[in-house]
Structure 1
Amino acid sequence: MKALRTSSPLLPFAMLVLTLVLAALDQTILSTALPVISRELPGAWPLAWVFSAYLLAATVVIALYGRLADVLGKKPMLLLAIGLFLAGSLACGASQDVQQLVLARTLQGAGGGGLMTLAMLTVPDLFAPEQRGRYQALLGAAYGVSTMFGPLIGGALVEHLSWHWAFWMNVPPAALAWGVLASTLPSKSSAAQPPATQERQRMSIDWLGAALLTAALVLLLLATQQGQLNLPERVSLWLLLALGAMFTLAFVWRQKRVAHPLLPLSLFARPAYAAVSFIGTATGVALYAAVVFLPQYLQIGLHLSPTGSAWHLLPLMAGITLAAVTSGKLLRAQRPAASIARAACMLMLLSFGLMAGVLHWLPARPLALSAALLPLGLGLGLLFPIVTVVAQRVSPAQHMGIATAAPVMLRSLGGAAGVALLAALLAHLMKRELAAPGALSRGAAADAVAAALAHGLQSVFGCAAAAVLLALVATNWLVQKQPREGLAKNGLLKATP
């Protein structure tokens, strides 16, 4: 479809924001709708698969979308992702049992996994280099707001309509975004290339590497969810980890030897790219440590409702939104990315320290915990645009898609793996404390469980802080002695003498 001429890129950018909002909402909107779904839908499959199917599909397609965008173009891949997401949303709302819902969520995730990456990847086609930081920051702010509002919107839809509308609400805006982007988004030069060149590009896609990466990610993500999915007894955690490691090694071996790798390992030889990739992983650990475990404490330990606990995450949302916009302005003003990233990591360390302190000295004060989330939101908001913009700036143009996708994939993996490991640590610490002689006899069982949960979360947040501390160390590699052309000009990397 031929793109219409528009006087401003703001209309297609608004549609990119809309698609990103929809994808972010669907990661959290079911947290308050799932109890109703469990009562109304029959089926023998564990309900946890409704979450895990989306996570698995969305994560495994990220790298493939990035590579296909490099070879076939960003616009067709973005339209494909929106189409799959729209079809999956329709199928989810029409599901008659849990099995159908899980399969529909897989289709929805196959589309949703490409929306965030492709939205960020399309920004350079719409805006000049000096403006991209600002608009990448707005995408980060939209993502943060949507993730936090998901539980509230899900609760309202279930209460006033039905759980079906948690999925069907996506259809009109997704259809609108598809139509507007198909008409207004510029198409790149692949159509102008000779047919032989286009065919060589298509043949350059490493499908075997994609299959190996998919197998590795599925196995490793299943390992992170193994305790919730009621897998057969013979499918043990260690088996999943061993197979996942085997496929990961096979993928790395393949990428070193194939002429056109799916994920060029040479990207990670660039210090700044390796640094932002690790920082992206750490932000996944930090974000999910807060949004998964803190609501558990508020609901189990302090007996708040799911909606009430969601409201206490608003400072995190506000911090992400405000800081993401601020980060874009700082990048546009040519402030060094390394300095901004260090400040962000310090804010996140402060937040985890405050949360641990509140749980130790003021465990019954939910407002104190809520306030302690604000520095974490500010730190995450500052880092989100930096990871994307620096990854794009230090990567070759021919690898722009996969270079943008890899940190997003690593953030998802960091969140999933981090939550699984931290949940295992929390369960171990609580079990040990409650098993101590007289632990349950000193008072009510509920109070003992709340106290054990508060004590265990102090260690959980300490581990999350350790991940952030490593990210702080990684910011040293954001400063390069000989920045490539365009980096110093845009203030993304600061040259040293």
Structure 2
Amino acid sequence: MKNHPKSSMLLPFGMLVLTLVLAALDQTILSTALPVMAHELAGGWPLAWAFSAYLLAATVVILLYGRLADVVGKKPMLLLAIGLFLLGSLACGASHDVRQLVLARALQGAGGGGLMTLTMLTVPDLFAPDDRGRYQALLGAAYGVSTMFGPLVGGALVQHLSWHWAFWLNVPLAALALSVLALTLPSKPAPAQQGPRPRIDWLGAVLLTGALVSLLLATQHGKLNLPERVSLRLLLTLGATFTLGFLWRQRRAAHPLLPLSLFGRPAYAAVSFIGMTTGVALYAAVAFLPQYLQIGLHLSPTASAWHLLPLMVGVTVAAVTSGKLLRAQMPAGALARKACMLMLLSFGLLIAVLRWLPDAALALSASLLPLGLGLGLLFPIVTVVAQRVSPVQHMGIATAAPIMLRSLGGASGVALLAAWGHGLQPVFGCAAGAVLLALLACRWLPQGGARQGAEQPVYRQAAS
């Protein structure tokens, strides 16, 4: 890989941060805008579909973008994703009824899912191996904070402008990022182009799409007012069938969409599982605590969003710190264990406050700080370890899979917690259980720095 001066790469990196922020914001920006939109848009389809369409589309395309990046190259796929996101944002802002909005949100999500993967994947093309942890950490912090700021930004735009600006705000910013990255992002051929180009496993992509759509619709079944014949049992059956079909196909395909051999590497399997649990932990707090503050303690939507500030601060500070620690060769396994302990402490504090001081909103807010610190430490670990322990020819798909699992874990975890939990204490108890499993998985993460231990040859290959 050609080494570029670090200063010349800061501008394209800034554009990567901008695109990731836009994609992450749009996951949650409608949560406070939906009531106003319900009064202004003609019906036909449930308005909740507009919220779920983005999540569905973004999650479904993540693996496909990762595989296409390995085959076609990262830069063209990143520019395509930004273009789809920009067009989807324009279409969302121009929608006149719910049906148009839902379809436009699906187009927007088809771009947004690529941005969540390809921004992380492009960092190794910009910076030397010793610097990548720091910049991956900044991207992780940007993702976590933007997801939590979504409701606040959406509420402010609706209150002072209109709901249309929740989408139109993306257009000039995405156009800026598209132009700058097209001019400044170095073009690096995908590893697969150095020899015969492998074909894309389109059958595997169709089976995976069927599995994810069915399972994600099942998690949202109670909110979407689906036709009566589309029962929860049917969705779960279809999801299980498509999943088994996808796994069968991946074991037999000459060029699988997701090489299952990646999960034969203990460190990769562990970090993928940890990525899924971070989604459960993050969305358990972001989805349920604001509802309690608004319904139980009668705070305004804006005030409840501001009570997430310690979580945002913790994510930002810890993600930057994690990047520095990884760069200083701190073992990923030890750092991940500390992160999980902080998250367990936070959920313990939240449960204690809810039991003994249920009206103390500030105490609940302060209890979120260790959770933010833990999540911030884990975000860069997941990406950096996934890239370090994977073969270079599978770098795109290896980066994409944990991101997909994080989105899937967040969506399915929130739905299951909402269905099974009666009150916040059981919800946070279940989230703590997921974190405890992640803590156990840390034993399979690398226990030495990037230049130490048994994984050393793989690290060098991935960093080349």
TM-score calculated relative to the size of structure 1: 0.89
CA distance in 1 between partners of 2:382 and 2:143 (Å): 14
Alignment-mate amino acid for residue 272 of structure 1: A
Cα displacement string for residues 340-387 of structure 1 (whole angstroms, at most 9, x for unaligned residues)? 000000000000000000000000000000000000000000000000
CA distance in 2 between partners of 1:182 and 1:483 (Å): 35
CA contact (8 A) 1:323 1:381 kept: yes
Alignment-mate amino acid for residue 348 of structure 1: M
CA contact (8 A) 2:387 2:462 kept: no
1:30 deviates by 1.1
CA distance in 2 between partners of 1:7 and 1:375 (Å): 34
- The match for 1:482 is 454
- The match for 2:383 is 388
CA distance in 1 between partners of 2:255 and 2:397 (Å): 12
Secondary structure of the structure 2 residue equivalent to 1:30: coil
Residues 332-371 of structure 1 aligned to structure 2 (within 5 Å): 332-371=327-366
- The match for 2:450 is none
CA contact (8 A) 1:334 1:490 kept: no
Residues 398-413 of structure 1 aligned to structure 2 (within 5 Å): 398-413=393-408
Paired-residue identity, %: 80
Secondary structure of the structure 1 residue equivalent to 2:29: helix
Residues 20-419 of structure 1 aligned to structure 2 (within 5 Å): 20-189=20-189, 200-201=196-197, 204-419=199-414
- The match for 2:434 is 467
- The match for 1:457 is 424
CA contact (8 A) 1:129 1:490 kept: no
1:193 deviates by 5.6
Alignment-mate amino acid for residue 323 of structure 2: G
CA distance in 2 between partners of 1:349 and 1:192 (Å): 42
Alignment-mate amino acid for residue 377 of structure 1: G
CA distance in 2 between partners of 1:189 and 1:286 (Å): 37
Alignment-mate amino acid for residue 341 of structure 1: A
Alignment-mate amino acid for residue 172 of structure 1: P
CA contact (8 A) 1:226 1:237 kept: yes
CA distance in 2 between partners of 1:351 and 1:117 (Å): 28
Cα displacement string for residues 227-257 of structure 1 (whole angstroms, at most 9, x for unaligned residues)? 0011111211111111100000000000000
Secondary structure of the structure 1 residue equivalent to 2:95: coil
Secondary structure of the structure 2 residue equivalent to 1:228: helix
- Matched positions, count: 455
Q: Which of these two proteins has the greater Rg computed from alpha carbons?
A: 1
Cα displacement string for residues 286-337 of structure 1 (whole angstroms, at most 9, x for unaligned residues)? 0000000101110110011111100000100000000000000000000000
CA distance in 1 between partners of 2:7 and 2:288 (Å): 46
CA contact (8 A) 1:332 1:490 kept: no
CA distance in 2 between partners of 1:58 and 1:486 (Å): 30
Alignment-mate amino acid for residue 345 of structure 1: C
1:142 deviates by 1.1
Alignment-mate amino acid for residue 284 of structure 1: G
Alignment-mate amino acid for residue 54 of structure 2: Y
1:34 deviates by 1.0
1:479 deviates by 3.3
Cα displacement string for residues 72-130 of structure 1 (whole angstroms, at most 9, x for unaligned residues)? 00000000000000000000000000000000000000000010110000000000111
1:31 deviates by 1.4
Is the deviation greater in 38-47 or in 181-190?
Answer: 181-190
Secondary structure of the structure 1 residue equivalent to 2:295: helix
Change (3 A) 1:240 1:193: closer
CA distance in 2 between partners of 1:64 and 1:230 (Å): 29
Secondary structure of the structure 2 residue equivalent to 1:9: helix
CA distance in 2 between partners of 1:268 and 1:248 (Å): 16
CA contact (8 A) 1:88 1:107 kept: yes
CA distance in 2 between partners of 1:70 and 1:33 (Å): 38
CA distance in 2 between partners of 1:487 and 1:191 (Å): 16
CA contact (8 A) 2:391 2:458 kept: no
1:489 deviates by 12
Change (3 A) 1:192 1:38: closer
Secondary structure of the structure 2 residue equivalent to 1:189: coil
Q: Which runs of 4+ in 1 moved over 4 A?
A: 4-7, 190-194, 488-491
CA contact (8 A) 2:58 2:114 kept: yes
CA distance in 2 between partners of 1:348 and 1:162 (Å): 37
1:486 deviates by 5.8
CA distance in 1 between partners of 2:159 and 2:290 (Å): 20
CA distance in 2 between partners of 1:271 and 1:190 (Å): 26
Alignment-mate amino acid for residue 407 of structure 2: S
CA distance in 2 between partners of 1:398 and 1:416 (Å): 30
CA distance in 1 between partners of 2:307 and 2:13 (Å): 31
Alignment-mate amino acid for residue 393 of structure 1: R
Alignment-mate amino acid for residue 74 of structure 2: K
CA contact (8 A) 1:24 1:147 kept: yes
CA contact (8 A) 2:275 2:402 kept: yes
Change (3 A) 1:488 1:377: farther
CA contact (8 A) 2:318 2:373 kept: yes
User: Over the residues paired in the alignment, what is the CA RMSD in angstroms?
Assistant: 1.9
CA distance in 1 between partners of 2:192 and 2:184 (Å): 19
CA contact (8 A) 2:392 2:462 kept: no
- The match for 1:15 is 15
Residues 429-448 of structure 1 aligned to structure 2 (within 5 Å): 429=422
1:5 deviates by 10
CA distance in 2 between partners of 1:18 and 1:86 (Å): 13
Alignment gaps of 5+ in structure 1: 430-455, 492-497
Is the deviation greater in 136-145 or in 257-266?
Answer: 136-145
Alignment-mate amino acid for residue 36 of structure 1: V
Is the deviation greater in 321-330 or in 40-49?
Answer: 40-49
Alignment-mate amino acid for residue 463 of structure 1: C
Secondary structure of the structure 1 residue equivalent to 2:44: coil
CA contact (8 A) 1:6 1:184 kept: no
